[in-house]
A and B are shown apart, each in its own frame.
Chain A
């Protein structure tokens, strides 16, 4: 059941990205271009998603287990550290350079087009570099 739930959630997430226009890097860049000809659409994606999310997480926070009896695994970190800021900074720059963030990149990968494939390979490489450095740091 957990697998089917995750599959359904992924499918709805992907449809949401496509319907909202967020799967299209050109539209994302239109949103990030605040000093130019600005397309505010993606602010509404956030409004819609967070509007539902606030209710869901308020319920989730009160439950030790999910409805399918899985342990509730919510993030516990609260520290505003250098890693959070530097990581988000690097991510934001990469996002602004081409208009892809991880979710839309995976959705775009589904088209089989060469550019999304190149981006996802580079993204996985970047994640592997992080894993390698993180393991080295942990000793």
Chain B
């Protein structure tokens, strides 16, 4: 007689097979339709909408399938983006994705809000020593280690051949800073998926969010230093560093204000709350974008507001300075899955596989060295903080992922040094792609190993 676990296993396999066939059927249907019917270019918004529907369905299905392989769902979403993206099936082409960029922006800000809302001061207070040490140690070790590795290997990168040693050192500094960046969006998605709750997940999330702020500041300093190396006659651009510091401070202040206002709004109950939150996230992103453009055009300031920081500060304020934290999280939970599906599918579709194909060897080497530095940095920090053994052993697994911020810094870097920046950006984008693929898997594993992931209680799992 079959045991319960056998029956469960066979039920799971049955579900995977069923989901797989549904996925194939949906894929074939869309593929056939696109082969049979010629969609006029003027119908792009409609095509984008139906591709959005297809992406939602296929990513959700792949997410469920990979979950049975004990991988995080966001890996499935990204896999869907890769499979149907421009480098494989080309269903989610750049043309199709363009009208949906607003949706992606909104999702990015939403994830920031969720990350802030997950940071509970009461827990963080007890973990502050670990968090500060992790930020200092991993940032320092990764920056110096990866920067040093890049400096040593730069001679094999042909496109940097014309640079002086000092200039290569400056570039290595910037590369080191980019390597220190994390992905709070992936962290929050994995925490939400596994319903992880405890000091480990709080610490990883806290460090990931704070590290983004630190990296933005450090990148400003590295850029100013690079300016000194490439154009010594202009001197050290201290103003730029102050501008970036101001950008961070204003973003946090705005976020706190937004959080206070939202806290008041959340006192009112209503079915519209999740939609308002989504709308608000979209507005924050657009506001930051427009302000950045305005400052650039009118005052020639190359800085803007940081939507992720604004939303994270707002979420943090609501969670810790009002009584509406649980209501915010409850409302966000209702729309979180569609937002995550859209965001990570688009992330997958935008992963530059071309860059990965052309520079996989050097990218793999940098990614591997970065991981080694993260292990070293986290071991050092957790030992100094006196964290328990499982924490010390698995902490590094939570810091592998890289995403939005790294890509934004890379593109800034690329526009600053157009001659050779594009070639280097290709390598760095490939590194981010590798980290983005293995990071979520590593973090989920870590949560399971430290016992904070609630097995079988994923809020997105089917229920009877």
Say whether A and B bind each other: no
A-to-B contact residues, CB < 8 Å: none
